[in-house]
Amino acid sequence: MQRPVSRRHLVWTGAAVVALAAAAPLLTANPYAARLAQLLFLNVVLASAWNLVGGFAGQISFGNASLFGVGAYATSLLWLAGIPPVLTMPAAALAAALYGAAWGWPCLRLRGPYFAIATIGVAEATRIVANHIEAAGGASGLTLPLEQDIGTVGLYALGAVLAVVAVLTCDLVRRSRLGLGLVALREDARAAAASGVNVAREQVKAFALAAALTGLGGAYYAQFTLYVVPEKVFGFDLSISLVLMVLVGGIGTVSGPVLGAVIYLILEQFVLASLADIHLAAFGALLIFIVLMEPRGLAPRLVQAISLIRRRFRRPEAGGPA
């Protein structure tokens, strides 16, 4: 009755891959455009991963930077030990998944605001501890070898693959038994438990999956910035930006995080260029507007608008309105 991946999403993903491939020569020729593409891919990965737990299970995490940082550091340390960075990525995903499962297992027993506060505590503690691990560079962080071996085109392709994987993972989970259980516990955790959904275990599964993707994002970040430092990769700014992206784009939808990532990048780059750090204020204002006007985010409204436009264009052929 239900396909593992819907045809609609398959078509969109196919179109996205073709568009990404076509845009590659343009974006990789210009260093600024190349960086924008890298940041966009990164945001799509991180926001989609956040949405797995925040959107489907309704457990809002303000601590995903702790997972991101573990991925970034895992790749950096292995890289400095002589392993090619791309080959370190499975290890980064695994390290982040294990760390996520380790603190998700106790914290996910809490719900709503209690969970959210616990995530802030864990992430801040992680940041402070990372600042004091001298073997990992302490507060001054790690500088990675400049002679990268996959190049601008390689980084672009890697980012595109990660972004597509993250979006497809969201789509797969939404349709899976796991996704059904997550939405059930979001809507009514007690009814889910009464129906035999193992509430604790399913949330930890989803969180570990989200952590693995977030860790991959961290590994990717390390490869294009060539510099990781606790204040950045374990920073609260990062955690909160993910929440903002998903809320603006459309929480609990597959396309919402992608849309939110695009909007965030545009605001960050264009407002940042003229007015320093005011982009967060601009984004906050947008968020207030959206929460008041469109609590479900922009993606559902956009889908509605697209189908409306398509109907408009089809009408004349169909013989006009009745």
List residues binding another protein (CB under 8 A): 177, 180-181, 183-184, 187-188, 190-198, 201
Which residue number, 154 or 300, has a Cβ lying nearer to another protein?
Answer: 300
Q: How far is the CB of 196 from another protein (least distance, A)?
A: 3
Structure tokens at 80: 């400095």
Burial group, residue 82, by CB count within 10 angstroms (0-12, 13-18, 19+) = exposed
Q: How far is the CB of 55 from another protein (least distance, A)?
A: 13
What does the buried/exposed string (b/e) look like for 288-309 if buried means 16 or more CB atoms within 10 Å of the residue's CB? eebeeeeeebbbbeeeeeeeee
Which residue number, 183 or 226, has a Cβ lying nearer to another protein?
Answer: 183
Which residue number, 192 or 216, has a Cβ lying nearer to another protein?
Answer: 192
SS (H, E, C) the chain: CCCCCCHHHHHHHHHHHHHHHHHHHHHHHCHHHHHHHHHHHHHHHHHHHHHHHHHHCCCCCCCCHHHHHHHHHHHHHHHHCCCCHHHHHHHHHHHHHHHHHHHHHHHCCCCCHHHHHHHHHHHHHHHHHHHCCHHHCHHHCEECCCCCCCHHHHHHHHHHHHHHHHHHHHHHHHHCHHHHHHHHHHHCHHHHHHCCCCHHHHHHHHHHHHHHHHHHHHHHHHHHHCEECHHHHCCHHHHHHHHHHHHHHCCCCCCHHHHHHHHHHHHHHHHHHHHHHHHHHHHHHHHHHHHHHCCCCHHHHHHHHHHHHHHHHHHHHHCCCC
Q: How far is the CB of 203 from another protein (least distance, A)?
A: 13
Q: How far is the CB of 181 from another protein (least distance, A)?
A: 6
Which residue number, 140 or 198, has a Cβ lying nearer to another protein?
Answer: 198
Q: How far is the CB of 200 from another protein (least distance, A)?
A: 9
Q: How far is the CB of 98 from another protein (least distance, A)?
A: 24
Q: How far is the CB of 296 from another protein (least distance, A)?
A: 11
> Of 158, 160, 166, which Cα lies nearest the Cα of 48?
166
Q: How far is the CB of 175 from another protein (least distance, A)?
A: 11
Structure tokens at 87: 């080959």
Structure tokens at 307: 């189908």
The answer to whether 54 and 78 have CB atoms below 8 angstroms apart is: no
Which residue number, 173 or 229, has a Cβ lying nearer to another protein?
Answer: 173
Q: How far is the CB of 107 from another protein (least distance, A)?
A: 19
Which residue number, 190 or 314, has a Cβ lying nearer to another protein?
Answer: 190
Which residue number, 82 or 196, has a Cβ lying nearer to another protein?
Answer: 196
Which residue number, 196 or 321, has a Cβ lying nearer to another protein?
Answer: 196
Which residue number, 35 or 296, has a Cβ lying nearer to another protein?
Answer: 296
